[in-house]
Amino acid sequence: DAGITQSPRHKVTETGTPVTLRCHQTENHRYMYWYRQDPGHGLRLIHYSYGVKDTDKGEVSDGYSVSRSKTEDFLLTLESATSSQTSVYFCAHRDSGTEAFFGQGTRLTVV
């Protein structure tokens, strides 16, 4: 399973509600990433982390926040979900000089 788990795997939520997606890795890797995947756009970086409490924005960070209080967990929060945030969300982790490992994805639908 590449030492990474995303939860939930599927979620339907209403517009305006907050949503938190969780990514958990068991490899003690330094770097973690949240991406969204939409048709025609490929994988776009939302936020990433290079250590506990060290995070930075990606190219599509508006409307999203992240937290990393432990090495193994990287949380993505949609502060007030909108229909444009309906997407498939992937988490990944890697360490310096290693390949990247991906979660199975979370399919989020905002209605």
Partner 1 sequence: KNEVEQSPQNLTAQEGEFITINCSYSVGISALHWLQQHPGGGIVSLFMLSSGKKKHGRLIATINIQEKHSSLHITASHPRDSAVYICAVTGTASKLTFGTGTRLQVTL
- φ, ψ for residue 85, nearest 5 deg: -95, 0
x/- mask, partner 1, residues 6-45, rule CB under 8 A, reads: -------------------------x-x-x----xxxxxx
Residue with tokens 């949240």: 34
Q: Interface with partner 1 by CB under 8 A: which range of 13-21, 62-70, 75-83, 97-105?
A: 97-105
Q: Considering the rule CB under 8 A, would residue 105 count as an interface residue with partner 1? A: yes
- Can you tell me which residue has the tokens 């007030």? 80
The answer to whether residue 103 forms part of the interface with partner 1 (CB under 8 A) is: yes
Closest of 21, 8, 30 to residue 100, by C-alpha: 30
Dist. CA 85–CA 104, nearest whole Å:
18
Residue 61 sits at φ, ψ, to 5 deg, of -85, -15
Nearer to partner 1, 25 or 81 (CB): 25
96 lies in the site for partner 1, by CB under 8 A: yes
Site residues (CB under 8 A) for partner 1?
31, 33, 35, 40-45, 48, 50, 56, 58, 90, 92, 94, 96-105
